Every structure is written in structure tokens, then in C-alpha cells.
Amino acid sequence: MGASDRLKYATDVRSARASVSAAARRGPLQTLSDRELALREHPVTVYPHALQRRVQAWVRFGAEAVRVNAKIMRSTPLAAGIEFQGEDETFRCWVWGNAVTVSEDV
């Protein structure tokens, strides 16, 4: 990765985090409810740091859907617990598994 590639990557990361922070100002982050997760019926897998995969995921801040670069922290057979960054804040939420795409580019 050359110097210009690193600069482009850093600019892309800053821009993505700014978009997340802007969406967060417009509405609260939504997460799946306890009823939707059904944790008593489904096992939860918690991933150690080395196994946390980078993904892209759709999340909602209020009524606004935003695609974010995230990492999977835990999962059930139906849902994923993700973590992603805004400018000055770390966000965590549960999303449906089909809202997540594993990406080697992220």
C-alpha cells in the first residue's frame, strides 16, 4: 500500500465515521429486542478478539438506514452483535444476520 493509498483509506474511514455520527444525531440507534433475540432459546457465540470478523452491516438510527463498517462481537443462529465507530463514539447493537455481509475489503 503506497502513501497515496494509505491517505485515501484514512480519508474514507474518517468520512464513514462522520456519516455514522451525523446519523446518530438524527435519531437513536435501534437494536433487536430481547424478544427478537430469544436468547433463552438460541445459543450465543462470543468471539475472542482474534476471531472478530470485519463486516459491513445495515443499522438504523431512528428511521434512517446506514451501512457501516463493523466487527462481529457475538452471534446467535439468527442475529449478530456488532460494534462500529463514529467520530467520537463506539456503537454496539444487535442486527439480523441477513443485514451483515462479511467483507475482506473492510
Q: Which of 99, 102, 96, 60 is nearest to 78 (CA)?
A: 96
Domain boundaries of the chain, sorted by first residue: 3-102
First to last CA, the chain: 15
**Could you give the CA distance from residue 58 to residue 66 in angstroms, rounded to a whole number?**
6
Quick: pLDDT tens for 16-52: 899 999 999 999 999 999 999 999 999 999 999 989 9
Quick: pLDDT tens for 56-84: 999 999 999 999 999 999 999 999 999 99
CA dihedral 69, 73, 104, 22 (to 10 degrees): 0
Quick: pLDDT tens for 85-97: 999 999 999 999 9
Q: What is the pTM of this model?
A: 0.84
Half-sphere exposure of 96 (CA within 13 A, CB side): 5
Question: By the 8 A CB rule, do 55 and 102 touch?
Answer: yes
